[in-house]
Amino acid sequence: MSDTGKRTASADHLAYLERCRSSRRRVIVARILLLAGFILLWEAAAALRWIDPFITSQPTRILRTIISLYGEGGLFLHVGITIAETVAGFLLGTLAGTLAAVFLWWSDFLAEVLDPYLVVLNSLPKIALGPVLIVWLGQGRQSIIAMGLFVSLIVTIIGVYTGFSQVDENKIKLLKSFGATKMQILRIVILPASVPTIISALKINVGLAWVGVIVGEFLVSRAGLGYLIVYGGQVFRLDLVMASVIILSLAAALMYQAVVLLEKYALKWR
């Protein structure tokens, strides 16, 4: 290719990158404007009494509630407790589910035996087992973590095992023809090929772990965002309820973004 052609290709490439950056900027601006517009509309509707601020609250009340929680020293306490419980349930559920999927992939007999039980457990409303876990484990943090773990466990097992089963059989046969052991096949082919599946399981488990932990806090906790939501509803402090929900949403979004960041590094490794 001539120098002129190279310069033209380079210019086209730079123009393409600039269009991509411009598109991302427009998306970010649109998201910010949409959120700001919603908050302003909510505030105006409450101020003008189009809606009842006692029932729906309003942004300024929520902000005052968050500042009050911070001043009382309870904000980071409640947020920290819920995040710690959620991260523990999330990690334990993901690790245990992935390990169980490895065992199922390792043994076709075990997979066939457990398949109907996994289907039944997956269809079972896990939240209904909350009182059972409390009786088994007691009214403490361990019950809440177990709830977060159990909600995400079966989904992880099924999802990751399905990903293992869909790995290209030709690659496995090639390694077997060279005398590779099952452990080598797992390490060299199955796990690297299943990285997108495991990341997808992580993304799903972010939401499931939060659901499990919040439900657990509804039932037994004396601290945490779930406790604040229940307490606020009982004493009709809906500002506290909405403030807790917003903090919960922000924490869940940050946790999801952490998984997205992990995905970028994992795909590079793969």
For the stretch 67-81, pLDDT in tens is: 888 888 778 888 888
Q: What is the pLDDT of residues 179-220, one digit of tens each?
A: 777 888 888 888 888 888 888 888 888 888 888 888 888 887
**Contact 213/82 with Cβ under 8 angstroms?**
yes
pLDDT at 3: 53
Q: Please give the Cα distance from 79 to 122 (Å, whole number).
A: 30
- With contact defined as beta carbons under 8 Å apart, do 267 and 196 qualify? yes
Give the model confidence (pLDDT) of 106-142 as tens digits: 888 888 888 888 888 888 777 777 777 777 777 778 8
pLDDT digits (tens, 9 = 90+) for 153-170: 888 888 888 888 887 788
* pLDDT at residue 4 tops 70: no
**Residues counted in the chain:** 270
> Rounded to the nearest 5 degrees, what angle is found at the Cα of 148, between the Cα atoms of 83 and 150?
160
Are 244 and 229 in contact, with CB atoms under 8 Å apart?
yes
Amino acid identity of residue 153, one-letter, is L
- Residue 177: the pLDDT is 81
Write out the two tokens for 235. Answer: 């004493």
Tens of pLDDT, residues 19-48: 788 888 888 888 889 989 998 998 888 888
Query: What rounded mean pLDDT belongs to the chain?
Result: 82
Task: Name the residue with higher pLDDT: 141 or 96.
Answer: 96
pLDDT score for 174: 80
39 CB-near residues (< 8 Å, 6+ apart): 59
User: What is the identity of the amino acid at 111?
Assistant: A
Whether the Cβ atoms of residue 263 and residue 256 lie closer than 8 Å to each other: no
Question: What's the number of CA atoms in the CB half-sphere (13 Å) around residue 138?
Answer: 3
Query: So what's the pLDDT on residue 270?
Result: 58
What's residue 34's pLDDT? 92
Asked if 159 contacts 204 with a C-beta cutoff of 8 angstroms, the reply is yes
Q: Record the pTM.
A: 0.80
Res 33: pLDDT:
92
**Nearest partner of 62 among 43, 81, 49, 78, judged by Cα:** 43
